[in-house]
Amino acid sequence: MITHKVGALLVVVAITLQAWLIGCNQPAAVTTSATPTVVAAPPATLVVTPTPVMTPVPTPTPATAATATPVLTTLPSPTPSPTPRPTFAPTPPATVIATSIPTPTPAPTPTQTATPTPTPTPARTPTQTPTPTGVLPLIDAHNHIIPGLAVENIISLMDQAGVRKVVLMANRIPDPPPIGWEDNLVLQAYEKYPQRIIPFLTTVRGGRGIFTDSAFVAYAESQLKAGKFKGLGEFMIRHYGISGSAAEAAPDLKIPADSPWVQEMMRLGAKYNVPLLIHMETTPDTLAALDRALLANPNTKVIWAHQTPLKMGGGPEPQYARQGDPNQLATLLDKHPNLFADIAVGYETLFFEPRDRQLPESWRNLYEKYNGRFVIGMDMATSVGWDQYYLPRTSAMRYWLSQLSSDAARKLAYENFERILTPKP
């Protein structure tokens, strides 16, 4: 009996020891599943039957299964999320706006820039200050006759403006006529009104200086010898090109004052005691060449045109107006007693503004100091110019003269030019 009980006890101890040993070998399973309490709960009797009860311990496999599911195959489902919207939304508006908006904006701007160009209209403002004609007699020492312009029209305008005499040179002469055709035009006007017109031998044809031809030098001398012409001009020493209609355009010309052809003409001027009227823009080169020419020909009277406060410098456009330096001219006048100048406003009339009626102090001082060296002129280079600008320019000229002393005004108005034309004793 005792033996039987001991045997049974030993069996229970063995089974319990076996279970304990198995449990020690698999701690992870017990920890993760948290079922150790369950294993201890069943009575010992039940353990005998399914020793294999321990086989369920491999239930950790759910843990590996659980790690498989987290692969999150569902995450790729965001394939809808690469929303096509970002690609489509920007494109349509960009193309539509870009093509429609920029195109209208350029259109208005050109029309705005075109409007400033009519600014030349202020040139007519001098007519608002009419000066009574006949107060101070004038000699217009720089003007032109154009084919088709009746000399009677010229005389009528002179009478209205109180101009006693006018220097005429031909202008706008086409190339085909032979040399001398333009001078006959001047002489015909002179023969009709010899007391009013002072004929100058024309040295320009179609905007080009023809005096570079040796044949012209011989022709000029023959005409001066006859004694009818009182001067030579207008020599285009340096002339800015002017665009416009055929009646207004002028070429760009560069013929140095000390070139052989001009020197030849200067010698003729000294020989026959007639002045040369030159058109020359002011640059360092042109000034140096004129200085050399005057030194080489001290007995030739040279009248340098367009020495006014509106004088151009750098080009024929409005921004180049009022660029003259009175000091440069004063230097040459001091150095060369045979140099004179006119204050004719030519092409610059297009840029004349109300402020230009007032002489700047520097120019007024120049005219006063050298009051024996300046003459006046109106310079009508086209037929239209005579009709539109002669009276306004004459009025502006009188206004300038009114700002000088009476002595200086009288000399510029007519006395100086009479003295220039006086034959040497």
- State the Cα–Cα distance between residues 225 and 312, nearest whole angstrom: 36
Nearest-CA neighbor of 301 among 191, 200, 185, 404?
200
Backbone angles phi, psi at 145, to 5 degrees: -110, 140
Q: What is the pLDDT at residue 181?
A: 84
- State the Cα–Cα distance between residues 215 and 179, nearest whole angstrom: 9
Backbone angles phi, psi at 397, to 5 degrees: -65, -45
Q: What is the pLDDT at residue 214?
A: 80
- State the Cα–Cα distance between residues 287 and 365, nearest whole angstrom: 22
Nearest-CA neighbor of 233 among 197, 252, 273, 205?
205
Q: What is the pLDDT at residue 178?
A: 76
Q: What is the pLDDT along the chain (425 residues), one digit of tens a residue?
A: 444 444 555 544 455 545 444 444 444 433 333 333 333 334 433 333 343 334 443 444 433 333 333 333 333 333 434 433 333 333 333 333 333 323 333 333 333 333 333 333 333 333 333 444 447 999 999 999 999 899 999 999 999 999 999 999 998 776 656 778 889 999 999 999 999 999 999 987 654 555 567 888 999 999 999 999 999 999 988 877 677 665 566 777 788 999 998 999 999 999 999 999 999 999 999 999 999 999 999 999 999 999 999 888 877 778 888 988 999 999 999 999 999 999 998 777 778 889 999 999 999 999 999 999 999 999 998 888 899 999 999 999 999 999 999 999 999 999 999 999 998 76
Q: What is the pLDDT at residue 425?
A: 67
Is 210:315 a contact under the CB 8 Å cutoff? no
- State the Cα–Cα distance between residues 331 and 336, nearest whole angstrom: 9
- State the Cα–Cα distance between residues 343 and 138, nearest whole angstrom: 13
H or E, element range at 182: helix 181-192
Residue 410: exposure state from Cβ atoms within 10 A (0-12, 13-18, ≥19): middle
Please work out, in degrees rounded to the nearest 5, the angle formed at the alpha carbon of residue 189 by the alpha carbons of 164 and 185: 135
Q: Are strands 253-254 and 232-239 parallel, antiparallel or unpaired?
A: antiparallel
Rg of the chain in Å (alpha carbons): 54
User: Which CATH code, of 3.20.20.140, 3.10.310.10, 3.90.380.10, 3.40.50.180, is assigned to 134-421?
Assistant: 3.20.20.140
Q: What is the pLDDT at residue 247?
A: 59
Number of Cβ within 10 Å of residue 227's Cβ equals 9
Q: Show the tokens assigned to 398.
A: 């009188």
Q: Show the tokens assigned to 98.
A: 């870009």
Number of Cβ within 10 Å of residue 240's Cβ equals 18
Is 392:385 a contact under the CB 8 Å cutoff? no
Cis-peptide into 234, omega within 30 deg: yes
Please work out, in degrees rounded to the nearest 5, the angle formed at the alpha carbon of residue 297 by the alpha carbons of 294 and 298: 80
Cα–Cα distances (Å) from 381 to 31, 247, 249, in that order, read 118, 9, 10
Cα–Cα distances (Å) from 90 to 7, 87, 114, 157, 186, in that order, read 91, 7, 39, 72, 77
Q: Where are the domains of the chain?
A: 2-64, 134-421
- State the Cα–Cα distance between residues 200 and 223, nearest whole angstrom: 10
Q: What is the pLDDT at residue 120?
A: 35
